[in-house]
Structure 1
Amino acid sequence: MNTVFRHFAESEEKDLLIEASTGMGKTIGYLLPAAFLATPENPLIISTVSILLQHQLIDQDIPLLNRLVDQPLYATVVKSKSHYIDLQRFKATLESPVQQKQYALYQMGILVWLTQTTTGDLDELNLIRLDHLLFQEITHRGIDYLSAQQPFYQEDFLRHLQKRMAQSNILIINHAFLAQETQRSQPLLPESHYLLIDEAHHLPETMEKVSKHYLDTFAFQRKVHQFHEEGQLFDQIENMLKDDAESLRLFSLYQEELQAIIECQEDLLSEWFTDWPLQEEVILQAEQREKLPLSGEKEIQRLLLYYQELLSIQSQLNEYLNTISDAWLDRQRVYFGEFLSFYEEMKTQASFMNDWLTNWSSAYVHWLYLYGNKKTARLQLIDFQAAILPNTSWYERYDKIIYLGGTLKVPKNRNYFAKKLGIPEAPLKVIPQTYNYEQQAKLLITSDDVKINELSNNKYADYLAKNLTILLENTTQPALVLFTSHEILQKVYKKMHQHFLSKGREILAQGMGGSKEKLLKRFIQSKQSILFGADSFWEGVDLPGDALQLLIVTRLPFENPNRPLIQARNYYLNEQGLDSFSQESLPKAALKLRQGLGRLIRSEKDKGLMILFDRRIVTKSYGKRLEKALPKELPVQEATIYEMKQLMEEFLQNP
């Protein structure tokens, strides 16, 4: 609390990293100083990792603090435009509805919800997915697409959001929203003295993820084909232009340019990737770009020229449509909005293709997934320098920034996290842990002399299934089993689930039984299930009380070095003169191992046992660095599988 206040109010440093374990009251620790410092002119902007945590802040934490202080916090959750309903677009769907039962049911539900909502945030509907056609037709496209002549202009939810933002001294966003500020032509967030990034260990990954631009040429072709269907967008635009011969000529030329772009994309892919493997992810290197024959070079120049011509034509069409917009019906305004939206999409696509085809900086990765016909593909451009904060447009807009997280420190690489963000000199303050790991937790490491990295996938799955069955049979203790491979997870699940089901115990598996949230809910309710998880289950799983006391880690959480993207990252780091294993792979594995333990111990009352089926933490030279990433008070013991079962029962039975 004092650390936060002093940095924001007194420090001359811009950046401060704070490592604080979960359960220490860190949220109140930064909200209380905000009550004395933040104003609508200089709001505290809080960035957290997820929408769920955004709402937890405004629904639970801030109301709690406001009961304790005389200077209340006025907070607003801020999300990107697509989270909000556009009333004008929704009205148009009521006037020309799709004849589909689910479409009508969603419309009825939204009509009821509109009598209750004050924000227009579609997340309030609590739907698992918002990819139904109706939601594509009613999500907001932004303030620029509104017209003051529209009947719902004054009631527009995005305009009201902007007004609330101007009156609030706390703005709550997520990391993705913050990262997207760099991509916006105009920032949506105000300048301020104060920015606090909670769950900051997620920031580099999110920054990189947001920087990933992609184009799926198959999906693009399908969209254009749908626009040409009777009654769809292009048919409607043509009807709106019918009274102007020159505009009709331009629109016909526009459609020809679109078709030329599609054909040129196909020709280029066929020319470049004739001998490449199908349906595999591939990283394209600069050397392969240089080997492209002259005919391929001509295709590139032709494609980029088509994009320029297309955008020029659409810009002219937009100008003409604007001049006749006063006479339109509401539905015609919606079609024009869709046409403008497609224009922005094509500008983005043109920029992406220019970068993908011409930018061969070592920091950029050109990723390709070629579909079966070799004429369509999914292309991605990934920026390994996306997390370098001084390169972003928003970093300089904040005078003081605090980065708060549970796992920011790595043994023998204390400024690992700061270096990833491009602020290597930023100080790191570690708040001492309050947990008694000596009494609350224990780590058991297998003593079996099995070199798991030398086993085939099938034999490794057999090994895990056998040992997990020995450990978990004849117990009712709920267990979380963490994997580093979805393939191995599924193989082990298939070998075990029927056996345990016959004994009245369910195994829940990521990717095989619904969303992460659904699996966690079933796991908590059953009180004796076994949950197999990978990736996101290593962290961000908040299980209350005694819902989880047994964590089994099947393998040290190193990234698969054979994945093309990991190989490209390692190549990039080596080009920078860095050892990719010690500077990236090892620190990431150490942090992930700590995060795994964090699933067990989240309060001073928790108790938990962690079991590791990977002896490399003992036998390899890097093992000590991994072990040092764990709390030094954590008891560690090696044991056979049968000794583990006995120790597990003794530990968990003792209060």
Structure 2
Amino acid sequence: MTDSAVAPAGHPDEPAGAWAPAPAQDLEQLAREAFVPGGVLSRAADAFRPRPGQTEMAAAVARTITAGGALVVEAGTGVGKTFSYLVPALLSGERVLLSTATKTLQDQLFARDLPRLAQALGLPVRMALLKGRGSYLCTHRLELARQDASLPDRSALRTLAKIEQWAQGTRTGDLAEMPGLDERSPVLPLVTSTRENCLGSQCPKFRTCHVNAARREAMAADVVVINHHLFFADLAVRESGMAELLPSVRVVVFDEAHQLNETGVQFLGRQLGTGQVLDFTRDLLGAGLQFARGLVDWQQIAGATERAARELRLVVGRTVPGARLRWVSAAPEGVSDVAWGEALAALETALQLAAEGLATVSEIAPDFVRLHERATLLAQRVRAFDQPAEAGAVRWLDVGTHLRLVESPLDIAEAVQQKLLKTGQDPENESARRAWIFTSATLGDDARLSWFTEPCGLGEAEVLRVASPFDYPTQAALYLPRDLPRPNDPGHSAAVARVAEAAARRIGGRTMVLTTTLRALRAIGEPLQARFDGSGEVEVLVQGQWPKRRLIERFREGAGEGRPGCLLVASASFWEGVDVPGDALQLVIIDKLPFPPPGDPLVEARGQRLESQGRSPFNDYFVPEAAVALKQGAGRLIRRESDRGLLVVCDTRLAQMGYGRRLLAALPPMRRLQDEAQFEEALDQLAPE
């Protein structure tokens, strides 16, 4: 990562859009020429080799940039899709917005791929990296945190001291640049801002604000790298500065587009968390005691609001951590309508009283003006959740240490059609000429990629599928154990652990176990750690015990320097975006077919909508969802042409049920191992000498 939010290539002083765009009729040809042997790509990419699929995708992107419209590309692992869209985008001379699902890819594009390619192409491109405000240090809140008496422990105090020291030298304020900072640290919310607590132009640190600096640099850049969360946050609330940026952009690329729908629905509805309310009370008390001690009974106001938030949580009672409760009537499922209504009313009243108290001191400090706005907004959200949900939306309650009240559209189709593609509007206007590129390694299991295009409102888009160049029958094999318990049997996770233990011993670690639930994660990970503890054979890593970044770094290191190879047991986000090429990972074990959880309110609502349309929720939703997720998990195995490995799916339904053929067809074309003897032989071929 560079230490700058803008990475100039060529002539850094050139203004945005300063280089001449390629003539429209020549862009496709220029893009094709970049990928020929000895072309510019050979100077930009290590060990570059021409791939017909990569060139095909680049040509399609070039045509879409020239004509405008939407292009959806599923580019299999190894195609090199990043350069396939970057080359024509840069050669076009147009202003470009690149959006990714993860900050990891965001940083990689900005710090490595873009500068390298712009230099190879000889283009004076100004680039900017723009993240959400939670990624940047807020120097005003850092000052407030120094005086915060509620810091949890000495570890938090040490982290705060390190951040203060780092703050003296950073130019961008991007916390990802700070070495050794745990992304789970409880200090981070204290030193970053949110849309709710940012003071805006009234902040005493406004002129040196890192968020504003990043936005200014984005406005001056030719290519801006953002993430999907930031894009949809702005689409929903126009908070990030994108409202000014997007109209000047002609080319928009969504990489890792398979996450677009699920990211979008988070922002296009409404949410209220009791954690938000508690954050507000902490900020209220801190600002009140610092700037207006004695003028208002801050302890009483903050205490009353905090109690109301905690009472709302208590009304729900004990439930499974991480549960989602259906909410189709006055109160969530299993919660008393009367008690819930009274608790919501009490919280609204407490927030209104807080707003009244803040109004009396609003002229003393800008902090009070913002706090008053936050109290009013939170009260409005409470009131909205006391009313029926909007038509076409689904409402539910996320239950954990705190509550999260959620109302969400079922997909982003309407938002994409109306706000992005502007379907039905004048075809001559600027938005109709904009080029929209959506790409990922996994976007569906049918020719139209309907798993992605339907919920994203892209039914009329051009669709291209580019196969992976990897020789899967030679590089990889698939094994389906036949004698395992059924997936829902109590002994299933223990059986998966035994398979993983025996295989990992045989090949010296180099194994990743992907689970479909956190319960299975613990049921498989904990016994494996107990069995290998102190043996020195294999180091067992379990998601949640270390930060994700540290887990992946250790796993990639593998065996060496007196350390054993690793067995990683993980769930959720580890199914995708984890890149471990080479010998460190040669065995991926998937515990169950990754069907959506049937009791999830959003899943239920989507199924009910399909039923009302006369369609099959299982065939048209559950199976495609499982196919895409299974393909994502399997994609962790082979990352380079030289990789070799085995995929084990510990779910007998894949071989026994009719839909298993469809799921198998979604996987890369690996050779099949027929029995345990063949599996053990394949393991022995991978075992270190």
Q: TM-score range by the shorter chain?
A: 0.7 to 0.9
The correspondence for 1:630, drawn from 667, 674, 680, is 667
Q: Cα deviations across residues 348-385 of structure 1 (Å, max 9, x unaligned)?
A: 4234323322233464333236789xxx9543333323
Shift of the alpha carbon at 1:73?
A: 2.0
- The alignment status of 1:321 with 2:362, answered yes or no, reads yes
Which residue is 1:452 aligned to? 486
Which residue is 1:175 aligned to? 228
The correspondence for 1:85, drawn from 137, 144, 150, is 137
CA distance in 2, matches of 1:647, 1:122: 44
Shift of the alpha carbon at 1:175?
A: 0.7
The change in CA–CA distance for 1:21 and 1:316 in structure 2 (over 3 A counts) is: same
CA distance in 2, matches of 1:120, 1:310: 36
Which residue is 2:411 aligned to? 385
**Relative contact order (alpha carbons < 8 A, sep ≥ 6): 1 or 2 greater?**
1
SS at 2:389 equivalent: coil
Which residue is 1:2 aligned to? 59
Which residue is 2:528 aligned to? 496
CA distance in 1, matches of 2:519, 2:108: 34
Shift of the alpha carbon at 1:74?
A: 1.1
- The alignment status of 1:166 with 2:219, answered yes or no, reads yes
In structure 2, what residue type is equivalent to 1:382? S
Which of the two has higher C-alpha Rg?
1
Gaps of 5+ in 1: 243-247, 326-332
After superposition, residues 191-270 of structure 1 pair within 5 angstroms as: 191=247, 192-211=249-268, 213-217=270-274, 220=277, 224=281, 227-228=284-285, 232-236=286-290, 238-239=292-293, 259=304, 266=311
- CA-based RMSD of the aligned residues comes to 4.1
Shift of the alpha carbon at 1:159?
A: 3.5
Which residue is 2:462 aligned to? 427
CA distance in 2, matches of 1:646, 1:114: 55
The correspondence for 1:188, drawn from 241, 262, 265, is 241
SS at 1:118 equivalent: coil
CA distance in 2, matches of 1:292, 1:537: 34
Shift of the alpha carbon at 1:646?
A: 2.1
In structure 2, what residue type is equivalent to 1:184? V
Gaps of 5+ in 2: 1-57, 423-430, 560-564
The question of whether the paired residues in 2 share the 8 Å contact of 1:86 and 1:140 is answered with no
Which residue is 1:614 aligned to? 651
After superposition, residues 189-588 of structure 1 pair within 5 angstroms as: 189=242, 190=245, 191=247, 192-211=249-268, 213-217=270-274, 220=277, 224=281, 227-228=284-285, 232-236=286-290, 238-239=292-293, 259=304, 266=311, 281-286=324-329, 299=342, 306=349, 313=356, 316-317=359-360, 321-322=362-363, 333=365, 336-337=366-367, 339-361=368-390, 363-368=392-397, 377-386=403-412, 388-390=414-416, 393=419, 396=422, 399-411=434-446, 414-448=449-483, 450=484, 452-453=486-487, 456-457=489-490, 459-501=491-533, 503-511=535-543, 513-527=545-559, 528-563=565-600, 566-588=603-625
SS at 1:446 equivalent: coil
CA distance in 1, matches of 2:349, 2:383: 12
SS at 1:452 equivalent: coil
The question of whether the paired residues in 1 share the 8 Å contact of 2:280 and 2:371 is answered with no
Which residue is 1:37 aligned to? 92
In structure 2, what residue type is equivalent to 1:283? R
Which residue is 1:59 aligned to? 111
**Residues matched between the structures, number:** 611
SS at 1:611 equivalent: strand
CA distance in 1, matches of 2:546, 2:540: 9
The change in CA–CA distance for 1:423 and 1:35 in structure 2 (over 3 A counts) is: closer
CA distance in 1, matches of 2:629, 2:83: 26
SS at 1:286 equivalent: coil
CA distance in 2, matches of 1:298, 1:462: 44
Q: Cα deviations across residues 267-321 of structure 1 (Å, max 9, x unaligned)?
A: 8985xx79x968754212238689999977985996698489559747854xx73
Q: Cα deviations across residues 544-573 of structure 1 (Å, max 9, x unaligned)?
A: 222212222222222332455544543344
The correspondence for 1:19, drawn from 74, 79, 85, is 74
**579-588 or 475-484, larger mean C-alpha shift:** 475-484
Shift of the alpha carbon at 1:109?
A: 3.9
CA distance in 2, matches of 1:81, 1:445: 45
The question of whether the paired residues in 1 share the 8 Å contact of 2:264 and 2:412 is answered with yes
The change in CA–CA distance for 1:431 and 1:511 in structure 2 (over 3 A counts) is: closer
Shift of the alpha carbon at 1:91?
A: 5.4
The change in CA–CA distance for 1:112 and 1:216 in structure 2 (over 3 A counts) is: closer
The change in CA–CA distance for 1:288 and 1:144 in structure 2 (over 3 A counts) is: closer
Shift of the alpha carbon at 1:179?
A: 1.1
The change in CA–CA distance for 1:489 and 1:118 in structure 2 (over 3 A counts) is: closer
The question of whether the paired residues in 2 share the 8 Å contact of 1:195 and 1:402 is answered with yes
Which residue is 2:682 aligned to? 647
Identical aligned pairs, as a percentage? 24
**473-482 or 621-630, larger mean C-alpha shift:** 473-482
The change in CA–CA distance for 1:102 and 1:290 in structure 2 (over 3 A counts) is: closer
The question of whether the paired residues in 2 share the 8 Å contact of 1:265 and 1:303 is answered with no
Which residue is 1:128 aligned to? 182
Shift of the alpha carbon at 1:94?
A: 6.9
CA distance in 2, matches of 1:104, 1:265: 26
The question of whether the paired residues in 1 share the 8 Å contact of 2:89 and 2:251 is answered with no
The question of whether the paired residues in 1 share the 8 Å contact of 2:308 and 2:347 is answered with no
Shift of the alpha carbon at 1:45?
A: 0.4
Q: TM-score, normalised by structure 2?
A: 0.77
